């Protein structure tokens, strides 16, 4: 008498294959097929990731990175780019993105390239973590289904012999044990891949900081004075031309080539140039006297 859980109708086409499977697999019920599929998927991911990290460990990236930085210190952008293109590692791909953008600031481009490479190295990690939660749930579900079916059969046949009940309960543990075995097989590689990913993330961060330091030290990145840049941004945000700034007695022009700001009076204010210097000085002295008087009066009120 078989107490294993009968397969659903949609799994009847697997009967010829099931007959050639081990006895313990047949006794585990239909959940064993789901666990087998999950095991195959996780095995493929683990083998692919092991191959990826093995190939990466064989590449001599450190020497190529040193050659690239040496070329940058000599301000040889082409030689540094050729050195980065000699290997296809995450760090060199990130450096290649940054060098291509010089003399503009490569910060945003390298941040994006670093995230892309980290996502590439962590490929399959989410699926492995999901399988670690799915496998125990499938095992417990399969065990409970077999146990429920066995107890229902025993109650219908009024079987009270423990010698028959105990083997049936033991068969219900087959999916649970199988799920735990899959969980342990996933857990060890997943922790290894996680440690390697953290190490490479720190490595990419270190490479990026070294690249930025070299760019600033040897002035590989083109910079402009902050006050001029801010002035230029104000003009862009307001979207005003020089002729539209009529509310001010002067207008200014920003030069991209020289980085200078030229200030000039409007035509309607050119007449101010004809005012004698003595008149301007007298007007200034009168305004200064009025301010002093206001300050004196204000201090007396406070007292």
Write the pLDDT tens digit of every residue in 40-68: 999 999 999 999 999 999 988 999 999 99
Among 160, 194, 217, identify where a domain stops: 217
140-171 exposure pattern, b = at least 16 Cβ within 10 A, e = fewer: ebbbebbbebbeeebeeeeeeeeeeeeebeeb
More confident residue, 232 or 302: 302
In this prediction, residues 10-20 reach a mean pLDDT of 64
- Measured in degrees and rounded to the nearest 5, phi and psi for residue 228 equal -70, -40
Say if pTM beats, i.e. exceeds, 0.85.
no
Name which of 84, 65, 101 is nearest 215 in CA terms: 101
Name which of 120, 113, 119 is nearest 96 in CA terms: 113
Among 179, 200, 217, identify where a domain stops: 217
How far apart (Å, rounded) are the C-alpha atoms in residues 140 and 251?
79
For the chain, what is the mean pLDDT?
78
Cis omega (within 30 of 0) for bond into 103: yes
How far apart (Å, rounded) are the C-alpha atoms in residues 258 and 148?
85
pLDDT tens digits, residue range 192-212? Answer: 999 999 999 999 999 999 999
Please name the helix (run of DSSP H) or strand (run of DSSP E) that holds residue 240, with its range, or none. Answer: none
User: Is 63 found in the same domain as 171?
Assistant: yes
How far apart (Å, rounded) are the C-alpha atoms in residues 18 and 20?
5
Cα distances (Å, whole numbers) of residue 226 to 40, 58, 170: 58, 46, 76
Q: How confident is the model at residue 169 (pLDDT cuts 50, 70, 90)?
A: confident
How far apart (Å, rounded) are the C-alpha atoms in residues 210 and 52?
26
pLDDT value, residue 264: 60
pLDDT tens digits, residue range 98-140? Answer: 999 888 889 899 999 999 999 999 999 999 999 999 999 999 9
DSSP label at residue 4? S
User: Is the confidence at residue 249, as pLDDT, over 70?
Assistant: no
pLDDT value, residue 222: 79
Report residue 252 CA to chain centroid gap: 43
More confident residue, 65 or 23: 65
User: Is 182 found in the same domain as 51?
Assistant: yes
Q: Range of 253's domain?
A: 226-302
Q: Is residue 3 part of a domain?
A: no
Among 172, 189, 217, identify where a domain stops: 217
Long-range pairs, 25-28, Cβ under 8 A, ≥24:
27/2, 27/3, 27/171, 27/174, 28/4, 28/142, 28/146, 28/171, 28/174, 28/175, 28/178
Q: How confident is the model at residue 295 (pLDDT cuts 50, 70, 90)?
A: low
User: Is 250 found in the same domain as 212?
Assistant: no
């Amino acid at each position: 008498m078989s107490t294993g859980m009968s397969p659903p109708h949609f799994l009847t086409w697997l009967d010829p294959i099931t007959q050639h499977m081990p006895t313990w697999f047949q006794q585990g019920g239909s959940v064993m097929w789901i666990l087998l599929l999950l095991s195959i998927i996780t095995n493929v991911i683990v083998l692919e990731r092991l191959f990826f990290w093995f190939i990466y460990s064989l590449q001599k990236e450190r020497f190529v990175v040193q050659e690239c930085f040496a070329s940058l210190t000599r301000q040889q952008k082409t030689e540094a780019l050729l050195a980065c293109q000699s290997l296809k590692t995450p760090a060199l791909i990130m450096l290649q993105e940054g060098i291509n953008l010089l003399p503009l600031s490569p910060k945003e481009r390298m941040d994006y390239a670093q995230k892309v490479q980290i996502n590439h190295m962590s490929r399959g990690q989410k699926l492995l973590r999901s399988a670690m939660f799915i496998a125990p749930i499938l095992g417990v579900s399969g065990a409970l289904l077999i146990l429920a079916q066995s107890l229902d059969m025993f109650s219908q046949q009024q079987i009270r012999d423990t010698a028959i009940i105990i083997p049936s309960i033991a068969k219900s543990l087959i999916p649970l044990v199988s799920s735990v075995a899959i969980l342990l097989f996933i857990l060890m590689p997943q922790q290894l891949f996680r440690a390697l990913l953290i190490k490479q993330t720190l490595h990419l961060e270190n490479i990026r900081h070294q690249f930025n330091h070299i760019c600033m030290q040897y002035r590989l990145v083109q910079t402009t004075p902050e006050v001029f840049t801010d002035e230029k941004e104000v003009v862009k945000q307001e979207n005003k031309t020089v002729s539209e700034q009529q509310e001010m007695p002067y207008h200014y022009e920003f030069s991209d080539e020289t980085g200078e700001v030229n200030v000039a009076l409007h035509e309607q204010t050119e007449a101010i140039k004809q005012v004698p210097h003595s008149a301007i000085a007298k007007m200034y002295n009168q305004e200064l006297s009025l301010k002093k008087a206001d300050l004196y009066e204000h201090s007396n009120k406070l007292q």
